[in-house]
Structure 1
Amino acid sequence: MKPHLLKVPAKPESSITISKVDKFYNQWHFHPEIELIYIHKGRGTRFIGNDVHRFERDELCLVGSNMPHMWRCDPEYFVEGSKLKLDVTVIYFHHDFLGDKFFNIPELKSIDSLLEKAKQGIRITGSTKLQVKELVRKLSGATGLERITTLLSILEKIAFSKEKEYINTIYNPDKIEKSEADRLNSVFQYISDNFQRKITLEEIASVANLSAKAFCRYFKSKTRKTFYNFLLEVKVAHACNLILEKDMSINEVCYDSGFNNLSNFNRYFKKLMNKTPLEFKKEHRVLRE
C-alpha cells in the first residue's frame, strides 16, 4: 500500500483550496487541512474516524485536521458503461489560514471552537445545510477577499447552528500515526472487499501482520470499536443501500449483506438503525412517494 498522508494541491495565490471532483480518493487517508465537503450527487459509504455510515446526495460534512476518512461510492458507479455520476465540492483550509491568532479574538471564538470540534467530524443538516449549499456555490466562484469572507460566513453559520451531528464523540485523530494509516487502510480495504462472506479473526489479523489477540487490542485502540462491531456497521450500511436502491426482499438483503440468518440481521440492523429493516424500507418508500 502507498502512504496515505494525502498532499492537498494548493495554489500559491490562495490559502483556500476548492476542488470539484467526480471521483473520490478511494483510500483511507488523512491530511493536516480541514475539509468541508458537499456531495451534490452521489451515494455510497463514508468512513470517518471510527464511524461507518451511508451517504447520499446533498450530504455536507466538516472533517477536522488529521481525521482519517474515506468516501467510497457504491459498486454500481464502477461498472463499465455506468451512467451514475459523482459531483462533489471539497474545500480545504488550515485552521490558521488567516494567521496563528486570528481566531483568538472574542468575535471569532465560536468559529475557533468549531474547528477544534471538527476533529470529531461534523455532519450538517436541515436548513443550515441548504444555506451553506448556496454559500459553497458562491465560494466556488469567489476570488480575493470575497473568498475569505464567504468561507467565514459558512463557518459562522455552522458554528451557531444546532443542526449538526458530531460523528465521533470519543475519537481522537491525533492517535493515528502516519505509519499506522497504512496498516488500517489494509484492514479497511480487506473488510470492504470481503464483508459479504465470513471473515475470521485470524484471517483479518494476518492482514495486519498481528496475532488474533494482538489485533483485537490494536483495532480497538485505534477505532474505539471491536472488529466485529465495525464489521457489522459495514454490513448494515450495505444493507441500507440495497433497501434504498434495489427491488430486493428483506431476506435477499440479509444474505447479500453477509448475514447468515434473518434473525441476526433484524437484531443487528435495529440495534444500529433504531428500526427493523422492514420499517426502514417502508419509511423510505413513503418518502420516495
Structure 2
Amino acid sequence: MKIQKEIVLPNPGQSFKLFKPSLRNNFFWHYHPEYELVYVEATTGIRHVGQHISSFMDSDLVLIGANIPHLNFDYGLQTEYRQIVVQLKENFMSDAFKETPELEAIKVMFDKAYLGLSFGGKTKHIVAEKLKYMQDLNHFQQLLCLLEIFQLLANADEVIELNEQDTSIKLFLNDKIRMGSVYKYIHAHYNQTPDVNKVAAGVHLGTAAFCRYFKKQTNMTFTDFVNQYRITQAKTLLLQDKTVSEVCYEVGFDSLSYFNKLFRKITGENPSQFKKKHRIATIYV
C-alpha cells in the first residue's frame, strides 16, 4: 500500500496521454512527474490531492501539478461513473510558454498547479464537454482542443486551490508512514469503531505521535477523517433503496440525530434532502 510512482507513456504520435481509466477497486496512492487533468462524473467520491482530502458530488475537475501525491478519483466508487484523464510532461510546450505571450495565462496556471486546482461551475461544464468531444478528434485537433481547455481554465474565476503549500513527492520520500495502510484500515472498519491505537501500531508510531502526524498530513484529526469517510459512503447508500435510519447504522453511527447533524455540517443539507435531491440523478458510464 505504499506510495507508487506511475510510469506515464504518451499516446503514440502525441505529446500527452488521453485515456479513460477505471480503477475503482484499487487503492492507487501515487505520483508522477507529469501534469494531470482529471474529470470524473460520479454520484459522490473522494478527492485526495497532496494534503487535501474532501469529497465531491456529481462531478469533479482537477488540475494536478508534477509529483503531487494523489489518490485515484474513482477509488471505492459503488455506482456507475465516467472518468477522463489527460497527462502531459512537466516540460509540455516549455519553450512555447517562454516565447509566446498569448500563452502567458496558461503558464501562470501551470506554475500554480502544484497546489492542486479544482474547477467548478460553468467552467467545469464547458471543459467536460470539450474533453468528451476531443476523444474523437485526430491528434492535431486534440492538441488544439487541449490548448482551448487550458485557456478556459487559466481564465476561470471558479477555481479553488486545494493546498496551501507544496506537497510534491520530495517532501514525502523519507516518510516511512504509509497512508495506504491507514486508508485500508479505515475502509475495512469505517462502519465499526476504527481504533486509532491499532492504526498507529500498524505504522509503527505511538498513538500521540500518529495523531500529530495524521493531522499534519491531512489537516484533519483521525476522528474527523473517519466521519467524513462515513458520510461519503452514506451518500452512496442513500441513493440506493435504503432509508436514512438504515444508512445511519450501516456506516457505523449509533445516533440518528448525530448522523443527521454531522451529515448537514459536512454536506450543507440533511440526509433526507440529499436523498430527494439526488436520487433521480443518472450517471452514465
TM range (shorter): 0.7 to 0.9
Tell me if structure 2 keeps the 8 A contact 1:3–1:181.
no
TM-score (norm 2): 0.83
Structure 2: tracts of 5 or more residues without a match: none
- 2:168 is aligned to 174
- Residues 204-259 of structure 1 show CA distances to partners (whole Å, capped at 9, x for unaligned) of 1112111101101111221222211111111111111222x222222211111122
- 2:181 is aligned to 186
C-alpha separation between the residues in 1 aligned to 2:257 and 2:43?
31
Tell me if structure 2 keeps the 8 A contact 1:52–1:237.
no
Shift of 1:72: 3.5
Distance verdict in 2 for CA 1:53–1:63, change over 3 Å: same
- 2:104 is aligned to 109
TM-score (norm 1): 0.82
- 2:46 is aligned to 45
C-alpha separation between the residues in 2 aligned to 1:148 and 1:29?
26
- 1:80 is aligned to none
Tell me if structure 2 keeps the 8 A contact 1:198–1:258.
yes
Distance verdict in 2 for CA 1:252–1:124, change over 3 Å: same
Tell me if structure 2 keeps the 8 A contact 1:7–1:31.
yes
C-alpha separation between the residues in 1 aligned to 2:175 and 2:188?
20
Shift of 1:147: 3.4
* CA-based RMSD: 2.9
C-alpha separation between the residues in 2 aligned to 1:223 and 1:104?
39
2:123 is the counterpart of 1:128: yes
- 2:211 is aligned to 216
Aligned residues: 278
C-alpha separation between the residues in 1 aligned to 2:276 and 2:141?
46
C-alpha separation between the residues in 1 aligned to 2:57 and 2:176?
23
Distance verdict in 2 for CA 1:19–1:180, change over 3 Å: farther
- 2:74 is aligned to 72
- 2:63 is aligned to 62
Structure with the bigger percentage of helix: 1
C-alpha separation between the residues in 1 aligned to 2:176 and 2:154?
30
Tell me if structure 2 keeps the 8 A contact 1:43–1:74.
no
Structure 1: tracts of 5 or more residues without a match: 78-83
Between 9-18 and 27-36, the greater mean CA deviation after superposition: 9-18
Tell me if structure 1 keeps the 8 A contact 2:45–2:75.
yes
